[in-house]
Amino acid sequence: MFKKFITIVILVVIVWVVYQLILQSLEEEPEEKDEITNLLEELKKETGIDFSEIHDVKFKWIIEVDPKVKEVNVKGKGFEVTGITDEQYLVIEPFFQGKEFEIDLYNVSAGTVAGAVGYKKDDIVCLIVAGITGYKEAEGQWIPQETDKNDVDIKCGELKKVEN
């Protein structure tokens, strides 16, 4: 009789625990990530670069409005990294090209120690800004400290979400 009682109590406890776990799993639906967050997380994973945490950003993007061009403010997400090697930097752009992004010529700039490349796929745009790490002012000029290291800032957003 005592063994039956213990068995029944154990079964009731097991059923109650399973029931609670089922209720908890139903309540905790995983948060769906947006397309931009997924893209940035994939970039971080595939390149192995230790980017900062993803955060909200705003950036300027140039669009063609026949027959002229116009600059718009895009809301999105981004992250950055400081002091990566040239080899690490060189895997970032092929990532976007492999995802069928195309360079947007209106959003490309080049300078002596920094540059930007804009990528576009449908309504998703990404701006990659890179420059040589660590500047020091000397005699009124900024001089790069490490020419083989790069600071990179990546910002992505949707053209549907622009501020004029």
Classify strands 68-85 and 102-110 as parallel, antiparallel or unpaired. Answer: unpaired
Q: Is the confidence at residue 157, as pLDDT, over 70?
A: yes
What is the rounded average pLDDT of the residues 17-46? 82
**Predicted pLDDT at 60:** 94
* 112 three-class SS: coil
Length in residues, the chain? 164
Task: Give tens-digit pLDDT for 96-131.
Answer: 999 999 999 999 998 766 789 999 999 999 999 998
Q: Is the confidence at residue 146, as pLDDT, over 90?
A: no
Tokens standing for residue 15: 């059923």
What is the rounded average pLDDT of the residues 61-80? 91
pTM assigned to the model: 0.72
Torsion of CA 156, 39, 150, 138, to 10 degrees: 20
**Predicted pLDDT at 71:** 92
Tokens standing for residue 113: 């120690």
**Predicted pLDDT at 47:** 94
Q: Is the confidence at residue 160, as pLDDT, over 90?
A: no
The percentage of residues in the chain with a pLDDT greater than 70, rounded to a whole number, is 81
DSSP code of residue 113: S
The 10 Å CB-count burial string (b at 16+, else e) for 1-27 is: eeeeeeeeeeeeeeeeeeeeeeeeeee
**Predicted pLDDT at 147:** 65
Give the span between the Cα atoms of 34 and 7, in whole angstroms: 49
Predicted confidence band of residue 81 (pLDDT cuts 50, 70, 90): very high
Domain boundaries, the chain: 1-30, 35-163
